[in-house]
Every structure is written in structure tokens, then in C-alpha cells.
């Protein structure tokens, strides 16, 4: 909403105003989706929060599905900006992999109150073929491919053992993040944050080339 009220509307052209409204709708939608899930996102609830009519929302997003897809894309853009891009600044090999995992874990822990759209979406849409599911799978696979690549580079460089199996290591790491989300959000066991951190460290240590 900040975006919408920060600039006086009369000073902006209608195209800019449209873009700002669209961005504000996405902002509110992201917030709503993080509480109630993508499936809980309705045009009605967004219209209410935006003090707009439903048709006003439809003027920016042709359908609920289109809006959901855009929400997933926006969520992924933020994920890229806060995790992906900063991690690429670290040197190739274990430092970069470690940085990716650190930033990812930190963001998961920060987001434990609202939940992760990719983890929640995985369950919400596992049985629902369509554009939203495709976009979710696409986003998750981009991130998993990046993690795999970082593991592969760490093996090439010699930071991780030659025997390290990237698919197994990725599976174990991703499982730990799912476990963290499950225990803290569902079981309300914050002690699992430490267990998740220990588990990630353990996975790295057992694959690390002995010094």
C-alpha cells in the first residue's frame, strides 16, 4: 500500500498509475497468500483490502489464475533478489554453496511466521494441474538447479569429495528445509531451527574434502 500512497496520483501518467496500482495489488496479494495460501487468494478479499471493486482488480489481472501466477513470479523475484543474487557474489565452490544455504535458511527462519509460498504451494497444488502449479514447479526447479550447480562446482573445485552425489545431497538439504518449515509452523517447535542448522552443517561436513 505504501507504493500506492507514496506518490501523488495526479502527478503520474495513467500508464505509471496503472503500473503502481498493479504493483500494489501484487503486494497485497502476496501478503494475503502468505497467510491463507495461494488457494485462499480471492479477488473479493483483494478488492476489499485495496478498497477497489472486483472489476477494478480484473482490469489489471484478467483472471484469478493469472493473478496467482503473477504472485508466484513476484515471490520468486524477491527470492532471487534476497538469496540468489547475493549468494552469486561468493566465490565458486563451497563458499558459494554455503552462502546460498545460509541465506536460504535465514530467509526461511524469518518467514516462519508467514510460511514459504513454495513449500505451502507444493502441497496446495500437488494434485492441481494448471498454470499456477507449473509456475510453482518452475520456480522451485530453478532454485534446485542452482543448488545442484553449486554442489557440482564445489566437487569440481575439490571443496567437496569426488564421491559426493549431488542428487542425494540436494535431496537431503531440501528435506531439512521442509522439516524446519513443518516443525516450526505446524508443530510449533522452534527448537527445530537449531536441529535444521545442525543437519545442514552435518550434510556439508560429511561431503567435504578432508583438509
- Residue 8 grid cell: 501523488
Residues 15-44, interacting with a copy of itself (CB under 8 A): 35-37, 39
Residue 205 makes contact with a copy of itself by CB under 8 A: no
Helix 117-124, helix 64-79: angle, nearest 10: 140
CA distance 73 to 56: 21
CA distances from 35 to 75, 78, 112, 125 (A): 14, 17, 11, 16
Residue 120 makes contact with a copy of itself by CB under 8 A: yes
Q: What is the CA radius of gyration of the chain?
A: 20
Q: Residue 119 CB, nearest distance to a copy of itself (Å)?
A: 7
Residue 196 makes contact with a copy of itself by CB under 8 A: yes
- Residue 102 grid cell: 545460509
Beta bridge partners, 160, equal: 208
Q: Using an 8 Å Cβ cutoff, are 161 and 209 in contact? A: yes
Residue 141 makes contact with a copy of itself by CB under 8 A: yes
Q: Residue 109 CB, nearest distance to a copy of itself (Å)?
A: 15
Residue 182 makes contact with a copy of itself by CB under 8 A: yes
Residue 64 makes contact with a copy of itself by CB under 8 A: no
Three-class SS state of 160: strand
Binding mask 79-118 for a copy of itself (x = CB under 8 A): ------------------------------------x---
The dihedral built from the CA positions of residue 194, 187, 127 and 57, taken in this order, carries a sign that is negative
Q: Which is nearer to a copy of itself, 21 or 207 (CB)?
A: 207
Q: Could you say which of 86, 175, 190, 201 contacts a copy of itself (CB under 8 A)?
A: 175
**Residues near a copy of itself (CB under 8 A):** 35-37, 39, 115, 119-120, 122-127, 136-137, 140-141, 167-168, 171-172, 174-176, 178-180, 182-183, 185-187, 191-192, 195-196, 198-199, 206
Amino acid at each position: 500500500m505504501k507504493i500506492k500512497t507514496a506518490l501523488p496520483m495526479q502527478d503520474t501518467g495513467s500508464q505509471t498509475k496503472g503500473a503502481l496500482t498493479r504493483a500494489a495489488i501484487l503486494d497485497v496479494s502476496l501478503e494475503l497468500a502468505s497467510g491463507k495460501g495461494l488457494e485462499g487468494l480471492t479477488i473479493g478479499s483483494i478488492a476489499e483490502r485495496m478498497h477497489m471493486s472486483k472489476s477494478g482488480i480484473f482490469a489489471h489481472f484478467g483472471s484469478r489464475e493469472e493473478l496467482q501466477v503473477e504472485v508466484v513470479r513476484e515471490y520468486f523475484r524477491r527470492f532471487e533478489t534476497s538469496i540468489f543474487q547475493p549468494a552469486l557474489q561468493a566465490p565458486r565452490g563451497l563458499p558459494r554453496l554455503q552462502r546460498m544455504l545460509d541465506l536460504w535458511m535465514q530467509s526461511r527462519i524469518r518467514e516462519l511466521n508467514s510460511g514459504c509460498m513454495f513449500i505451502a504451494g507444493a502441497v496446495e497444488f500437488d494434485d492441481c494441474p494448471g498454470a499456477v502449479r507449473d509456475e510453482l514447479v518452475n520456480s522451485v526447479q530453478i532454485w534446485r538447479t542452482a543448488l545442484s550447480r553449486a554442489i557440482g562446482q564445489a566437487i569440481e573445485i575439490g571443496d567437496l569429495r569426488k564421491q559426493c552425489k549431488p542428487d542425494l545431497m540436494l535431496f537431503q538439504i531440501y528435506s531439512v528445509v521442509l522439516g524446519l518449515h513443518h516443525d516450526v509452523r505446524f508443530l510449533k517447535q522452534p527448537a527445530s531451527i537449531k536441529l535444521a542448522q545442525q543437519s545442514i552443517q552435518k550434510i556439508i561436513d560429511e561431503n567435504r574434502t578432508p583438509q
